[in-house]
Structure 1
Amino acid sequence: MICINCFHDKTTTKNSRKHTKHPSVWRRRACPECGAVFTTYEQATLDGRMVLTHDGSTTPFNLGKLIISISRSFQHNKHAAAHDSYFLAQTVQQQIIKQGKPLSTQIITQITHMILQRYDPVAALQYAAQHRLITSRRRGRSSTVYVQPPSGER
């Protein structure tokens, strides 16, 4: 790890602890060159993992795509689109890592929708419409909107 004070290329770890609720590690580091002591937080990411798409092909996981997808669901709240999308995408990534399931666009979409429902129901509805999680059935003059449940809840 590089020192954040003098940019020396080798620091030592003085203390390390796993986080109890999140898949991350807290480390206290020291630089032998300048003596600076600082803290780092390390967490697992999905970088490099392959995602199975709807058409059967695979593509590398891209956090940027997820951020943009979440941002588009906040058309009613530009502040949330600009500031909260990144943190919501990180929350989705952590939830996917916790579940340990193989990556597919369907799993990512379902988890993202679930997290958005808890954070902002309007954004969740917008996200569901963008990703075709909503179907509409017309009966006479009225129309009913159904949100498709995740595959395991049918």
Structure 2
Amino acid sequence: MKLSHLNEQGDARMVSIDEKKATKRVALAKGKIYLSPELLNLITNHKVPKGDVLSVGRIAGIMAAKETSHLIPMCHPLLIEGSSVTFEIIKDKGYVEATCEVKVSGKTGVEMEALTGVTVALLVIYDMCKAVDKNMLIGDVRLIKKTGGKSGVYEREE
């Protein structure tokens, strides 16, 4: 298998997309942060001392998706046409699940933007809650679905 991010000498390079056709592309990623019951209650009741954890996480995740090319060296800068971050609190299993969706019409996919958005949203939850409990665990970050481009549709089987 030839790796597209390496040149003939094995040096890293940004893949050229100049010959690619622009298509509508969408990526959806999810991740979880596991929390104590006490911390889940504080988040649910908007009682975390630093403020509204999920609102700040949502904004940070959207901002991170837009800035992915500044964080991941070989990512192309993209004109994001839409991005959203949502949260679901699963009290009985002790976690908050974040979902990030990113949309673009372009020559390259938005998987990294969705994965970056969801990861930063989870990191913000950690940051805003660490004064209460540092025993949180971030995990299960994964691409759920992507559409568009030459490779077509990908859907993860959960």
TM surpasses 0.5? no
Higher relative contact order (CA 8 A, sep 6+): 2
TM-score by length of 2: 0.29
TM-score by length of 1: 0.29
The structure with the largest alpha-carbon Rg is 1
